[in-house]
């Protein structure tokens, strides 16, 4: 199960009813703009996620636009590795998105609690999440927030659901940063072009996928710093050391995939998620013993 008790029991929203669901506990710390809760539908007695836009942020047209964009984006997606949306609306002054709640935990929490994953298990999980990402790309939607916290995994590590399309955008959209000029996203997993406020595309998600893969097999984030600006500079100029330093038995082929995903120039990366997954499947087949 996801967290069995609230992360913040003093949260004033715990116990409130939104869209017919009682908010039971907070799934994660969310961001400065929204928080996600696990909620129980009072009639169906079924669990859902309820993402609620922070009331202060709701006064910002930029934040509200991104919130609606997530709902519109995910509503167009239909894939077994993407958590589906059930409803979206406004109630009691709260903007909300109610979504599917697959029983499980996000990868960030799993790594913090268990440490790095065996590389084959990490590869299997990444392929499933990447399949969901590829489906989004086929609908001309890029995620822009692909990271371990956006991947929900069942207790047996077999059911994988990609979540958190809050920063998703149409590939054809010209928007590069928020209208306020703020760069949004997790600095640790952000591509250099996104960190630099430049135009993003499918290859930006591929970069984030590579950072995530590195983290899953090593439990170390390849780009760290004392503040977001320092992390951004490392994305621009720093080549991380091989994850084999942290996981000596890691096949060199896995390191090669990660290194190609993390190329600074988009043209030097894999050009599609399918290229990544096909390469990973070949590696798994080679190491099938």
Render pLDDT for 97-152 as a digit per residue (tens, 0 to 9): 998 887 788 899 999 999 999 999 999 999 999 999 999 999 989 998 899 998 98
Residues of the chain with CATH 1.10.510.10: 105-286
User: How far is Cα 51 from Cα 22, in angstroms, rounded to an integer?
Assistant: 13
The secondary structure of 62-102 as a DSSP string is HHHHHHHHHHHHHHT---TTBPPEEEEEEETTEEEEEEE--
Residue where the block lists tokens 């990609």 = 162
Active site residues: 145
Q: 17-100 architecture in CATH?
A: 2-Layer Sandwich (3.30)
User: How far is Cα 270 from Cα 261, in angstroms, rounded to an integer?
Assistant: 6
User: How far is Cα 88 from Cα 98, in angstroms, rounded to an integer?
Assistant: 6
Q: What is the pLDDT of residues 185-210, one digit of tens each?
A: 789 999 999 988 888 999 999 999 99
Strand order across the 21-26 sheet: 17-18, 21-26, 34-41, 47-53, 94-100, 85-91
The 8-class DSSP code of residue 214 comes to: H
Please say if the pLDDT value at position 8 is more than 60: no
* Fold assignment, 105-286: Transferase(Phosphotransferase); domain 1 (1.10.510)
Please, are residues 19 and 87 in contact by the beta-carbon 8 Å criterion?
yes
Q: What is the mean pLDDT of the chain?
A: 86
Token pair recorded at residue 91: 């109630």
Please, are residues 185 and 150 in contact by the beta-carbon 8 Å criterion?
no
List of E strands, the chain: 17-18, 21-26, 34-41, 47-53, 85-91, 94-100, 105-106, 141-142, 151-153, 160-162, 169-170
Q: What angle is formed at CA 106 by the lines to CA 280 and CA 128, rounded to 5 degrees? A: 25
Residues whose CB falls within 8 Å of the CB of residue 77, separated by 6 or more in sequence, listed in order: 84, 132, 135, 136, 139, 141
Residues of the chain with CATH 3.30.200.20: 17-100
Q: What is the pLDDT of residues 34-62, one digit of tens each?
A: 788 889 999 998 889 898 988 887 787 78
Q: Name the pTM for this structure.
A: 0.83
């Amino acid at each position: 199960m996801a967290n069995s008790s609230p992360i913040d029991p003093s949260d004033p929203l715990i116990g409130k009813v939104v869209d017919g669901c009682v908010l039971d506990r907070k799934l994660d710390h969310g961001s400065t703009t929204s928080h996600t809760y696990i909620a129980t539908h009072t009639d169906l007695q079924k669990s859902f996620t309820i993402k609620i836009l922070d009331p202060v942020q709701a006064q910002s047209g930029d934040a509200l636009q991104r919130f609606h964009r997530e709902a519109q984006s995910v509503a167009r997606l239909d894939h077994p590795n993407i958590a589906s949306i059930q409803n979206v609306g406004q109630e009691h002054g709260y903007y909300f998105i109610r979504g599917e709640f697959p029983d499980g935990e996000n990868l960030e929490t799993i790594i913090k609690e268990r440490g790095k994953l065996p590389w084959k298990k990490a590869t299997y999980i990444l392929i499933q999440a990447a399949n969901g990402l590829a489906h989004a790309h086929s609908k001309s939607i890029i995620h822009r927030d692909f990271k371990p916290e956006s991947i929900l995994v069942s207790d047996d590590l077999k059911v994988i659901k990609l979540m958190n399309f809050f920063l998703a955008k149409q590939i054809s959209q010209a928007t590069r940063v928020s209208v306020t000029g703020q760069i949004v996203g997790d600095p640790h997993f952000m591509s250099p072009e996104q960190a630099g406020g430049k135009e993003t595309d499918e290859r930006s998600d591929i970069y984030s996928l590579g950072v995530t893969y590195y983290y899953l097999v090593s439990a170390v984030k390849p780009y760290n710093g004392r503040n977001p600006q320092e992390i951004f500079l490392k994305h621009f100029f720093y080549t991380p050391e091989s994850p084999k330093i942290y996981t000596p038995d890691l096949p060199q082929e896995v390191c090669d995939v990660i290194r190609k995903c993390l190329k600074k120039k988009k043209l030097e990366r894999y050009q599609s998620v399918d290229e990544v997954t096909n390469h990973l499947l070949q590696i798994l087949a080679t190491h099938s013993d």
